[in-house]
Structure 1
Amino acid sequence: MEEQTSTLLRDSVSSAESSHRNSTKRTGTVWTAIAHIITGVIGSGVLSLAWSVAQLGWISGPICMVVFCVMTIISSNLLCDCYRYPHPEIGPIRNRSFAEAVRCYLGKKNSWIAEIFVQEGYYGCGVAYTITSAISMRAILKSNCYHKEGHDAPCEYGDSFFILLFGVVQILFSQIPDFHNMEWLSIIATIMSFSYTFIGLALSLAKVVGDGEIKGDISGVSTAASVQKIWLSSQALGDIAFSFSYNTILLDIQDTLKTPPPENKTMKKASTTAIIISSFFSLCCGCFGYAAFGNQAPGNLLTGFGFYEPYWLIDFANACIVLHLVGGYQVFHVVT
């Protein structure tokens, strides 16, 4: 009975594949999927994890990052099996987005509710990427100003021009039609993310070695009011959760993969690998940043001017942030 069912499903998938063969050519591999995932996961938010660890302390901070890592791997692996329906490997129906999967498995009414939250998430990512890019571009000017005028100089620059500039760039890149045509952009963005993450990590490590001490407390930043501590800790948890979030675009990435092997097997391998890589860098940046600055950890290691010199390296790192966010914005833009 099981063999007959498998045969019927294979025949159905062959028919469905042939009808869509001319419309979509899928050439993605494990490596392109990893590039897409890292572009969507590792953002400049990784540089703010030192502040998050500072709010939670040496014990709770690293534990929370490990927990979110495990949760993301489990949830993403479960979602990988939702790409094809009803069978995760040979089901003839493809769910090319998160909303389609919800509609297929839970019905149209539930898909409307899910779509509201998904679009809200896309909107939040767009706002965060735009503002962060503007801050990084402004940080380049401030870094040069501090280098010339001194660290106490009133180097102030507005954000409006840089926000508009980022918008113009996105209009140009938005002409890329879909995931199948933006592998090169994700690869560049991935390289940029590794570049500024390595720089932030190296500068933090150098400061720890230079100071000759590991700063920070077990319980993190102490506050006069318990309500304020709860608020800051909740904000820190939100920052950590945001740095692991990408499941809303998982099925869009999976839809780029070629077969064989089955898409769910390839995507599980890519997802697990990418999350482990991103978690490693998140853990290192958060912990080394906290060790370097202790409870005075800035909101961002590079734009918060925890470091002033070498200024050219700070400029390069912030330029990498901007280039990565250009690609990251497009990853979320394409699926909307």
Structure 2
Amino acid sequence: MRSASLPHRMTLLVLREANQPVKQIQVSKPFVIAVPIAALLSISGLIISLQMQSGHTISRLEDTLRLQNLKFEAIVTDKNEAIQRLQSQVITLSGQSKELMDRMERVSELEAELQSFIDKYGSKGDAGKLSSLSSLSLDESLGRGGEFIAVHDQEIEELAQETSDDFLEISAMLDEIEKNVPTTLQKAKQTQYSISGTPSEWPTLSTRLTSNFGYRTDPFTGKAAFHAGIDIAGKIGDPVYAVAAGKVIAAESNRSRGKYIIIQHPNGLQSWYMHLSEIKVSEGDTVKKGQTIAKMGNSGRSTGPHLHFEIVKGDKKVNPLSYLQ
């Protein structure tokens, strides 16, 4: 029995140190065969396990990459939408800028008209000229600098919206200016016309009176009579000036007044100039304050060279000295 079972067993020799005997271990042949097979199976299982784990890892990485791609695509889409919004806002702002520039030109024209009015009628004591809308200039060829501060897309969009809001406010301001400046200018012109049309300057170089306004003894009859103006002494040919701006409504001659002129002024006022030697204006002419309109004379019912001057207010003759400075 023992010899029959030997072929099914194997002897393993274990060599130890030189002074130690060799140790023999007998194992069955199936065990010797099973051990490598088990090792091979273990290694195969490990390889399969690693492959499966690698597959799961790769799958997770692919999922992560897909998610990142989706995020990147969403970011790119948002960027493209933001760029389109910015482009649309830039186009809108460009149109608004062009419109504002046109309106600024109109305001500049109104400003120039106001400045011309001030230059023509303003006094030396007026506070300086109107400031020019284009007084500031930008020269990028000169030195520039500053700390770098990055700007994000959201800030750019907010800036574009703020700029658009500013344009709307400026547009509203220009609306108000365009509406008010012409009205103000018209009122100023009317006021200036009223001022320049109010008698204030003497009609002659001379201020020496020979007869006052009111009751006096008539120089021809010696009787009491009402004198409707003042008589100003002078020489024949002395210049006679318009006491205020207005329109000539009469430039005629008759036996009593001699050669005479009547000028219509604002606010229902008229100025009358009588006993002239020469008339330099015609009916319908517009005259300015201080303009030479005639020469002093002795025509009509007169005792000598002088100017008979009257002021009429609402068809009522009033004292001219109340107006003359």
Normalising by structure 1, report the TM-score. 0.22
Bigger radius of gyration: 2
Structure number with higher strand proportion: 2
Structure number with higher helix proportion: 1
